[in-house]
Amino acid sequence: MVRFLKKICFKIIWLISTILYRTIGVYLPHTFWPGGIVFSWLRKSMLVGMGCKIGKRCEIEPGVDVGFRPNVVIGDFCQINNNVQIKNAVIGNYVMIAPGCVLLDRLHNFNDTVKPMVLQGESGKKSPIIHDDVWLGQNVIVMPGIEIGEGAIVGAGAVVTKDVKSYSIVGGVPASLIRFRNQPDD
């Protein structure tokens, strides 16, 4: 009986948090506004109620989309900017995600040329993994199952289709190595 009540309470909290986040949380002002840290805290609280795990001192800006059944883990001291889409992902500590980034967890199937793509379903879920101290520039797209190593920088507009090594700087479509952070500029 106790287990059943816990399950019902969890579902009620999830439902209330989802409704509040979708109707109010995504529209609350930015963190840099006067009192903005309160808005970020409210967004984080609603996301935690939806099932996300969020570390301490994170800033979540307006318009972050985590879907309806998120499996999102965000480490400590992260900055998730506006209009970012994260359905399922593991994000380390000290990660900066610029506006407009998309972290994908699945793709549409398209191999059957006889059957319309819309009827072919989706691939299985594969969460991207973003390690500590990573910076994703504006409008970066990270494909399902990709791992971005510690200290990496992904340039604005890049589409990451392969794992990114630690302390590397990548950019382009598809993203390719520009240089490592400890190398001097040319």
pLDDT tens digits along 50-109:
889 999 999 999 999 888 777 899 999 999 999 999 989 999 999 999 999 999 988 788
Element (H, E) at 60: strand 59-60
pLDDT band at 186 (very low <50, low <70, confident <90, very high): low
Active site residues: 108
Q: Are 71 and 127 in contact (CB under 8 A)?
A: yes
pLDDT tens digits along 129-149:
999 999 999 999 999 999 999
pLDDT value at residue 19: 82
**What 3-state DSSP class applies to 19?**
helix
pTM assigned to the model: 0.87
pLDDT band at 118 (very low <50, low <70, confident <90, very high): confident
- What angle, 0 to 180 degrees and rounded to 10, lies between the N-to-C axes of helices 36-50 and 2-23? 140
Q: Are 154 and 168 in contact (CB under 8 A)?
A: no
pLDDT value at residue 30: 81
pLDDT tens digits along 25-37:
888 888 787 878 8
Domains and CATH numbers, the chain: 2-180 (2.160.10.10)
